[in-house]
Amino acid sequence: MSTETLSMTPALHDYIVNNGVRETPALKHCRQVTKDLPGAVMQIAPEQGQFMAFLLQMLGARRVIELGTYTGYSALAMAQALPADGRVVTCDVTAETSNIAKQFWEQAGVAHKIESRLGPALDTLNALIKDGQAGHFDFAFIDADKANYPHYYEKCLTLMRPGGVIALDNVLWDGTVADKGNTDKTTEVMRQITRAIQADTRVQISLVPIADGLLLARKR
Ligand SMILES: C[S@@+](CC[C@H](N)C(=O)[O-])C[C@H]1O[C@@H](n2cnc3c(N)ncnc32)[C@H](O)[C@@H]1O
């Protein structure tokens, strides 16, 4: 019926969330509490959390690495989709929000599946690689500081097993990537990493226009 993706309106977004998303009480609670906190816009959209959970189930994922915990919505959405022995390693530099996250993970009964690490994401990734975890992860969600996305992508690719998927968030950066006149630093980073991954023959790709844009790269 159309060769283009629909433009999103607030009404259409409400329709999608109200009719196409199932959120557990803990996910809803996390959204409610977070909306009044500084940085609330950093939280992923509910339809994106559900989409990533769906991907994990399709992949039969057991081991996930997340960069950027914030108040724990995406880690929770993913942990709920993993089997009982599944694990999410999530990291953030902010202790305060990582601590807030834990109450929702406990509420959902999945706290035992989530390992929260405090510190720069690059340190966490290097430690995992040093620890012999290369090739042992099924899925990576990159959602921390944008300037480091190129480094995060390379390290995550090392950690993925063949067939594992890396999801990079915010690659459309509020639509600014398509505005040729916009030379904002983060906009440029998003354009560069997207172009680099498009040309990267080590992966298969899909740029999904969900929320702020989710770039999927599947390791061959
Ligand atoms: C977009 S938010 C993550 C949102 C989260 N995935 C969610 O669903 O709510 C980005 C997070 O990255 C964290 N961050 C910033 N720089 C970082 C770094 N160098 N290493 C790890 N985390 C970092 C911030 O503290 C912030 O909580």
Average pLDDT of the chain is: 97
Q: Is the pLDDT of residue 1 over 70?
A: no
Query: Ligand 1 centre from 109 Cα, in Å?
Result: 23
Over the stretch 77-114, which tens digit does the pLDDT of each residue have?
A: 999 999 999 999 999 999 999 999 999 999 999 999 99
- Write b or e for each residue in 105-122: b if 16 or more Cβ atoms lie within 10 A of its Cβ, otherwise e: bebbebbebbebbeebbb
Q: State which ligand 1 atom lies nearest to the alpha carbon of 121.
A: 20
pLDDT of residue 145: 98
Judge if the beta carbon of residue 104 lies within 6 A of ligand 1: no
118 pocket-lining for ligand 1 (C-beta < 6 Å)? no
**Nearest Cα residue to atom 14 of ligand 1:** 144
d(CA 189, CA 184): 9
Give SS3 for 181: coil
User: Closest Cα partner for 170 from 154, 147, 151?
Assistant: 147
Chain segment 176-215, per-residue pLDDT in tens: 999 999 999 999 999 999 999 999 999 999 999 999 999 9
Ligand 1 nearest atom to the CA of residue 141, by list position:
6
DSSP string, 106-159: HHTT-GGGEEEEES-HHHHHHHHHHTT-TT-EEEEEE-S-GGGHHHHHHHHHHH
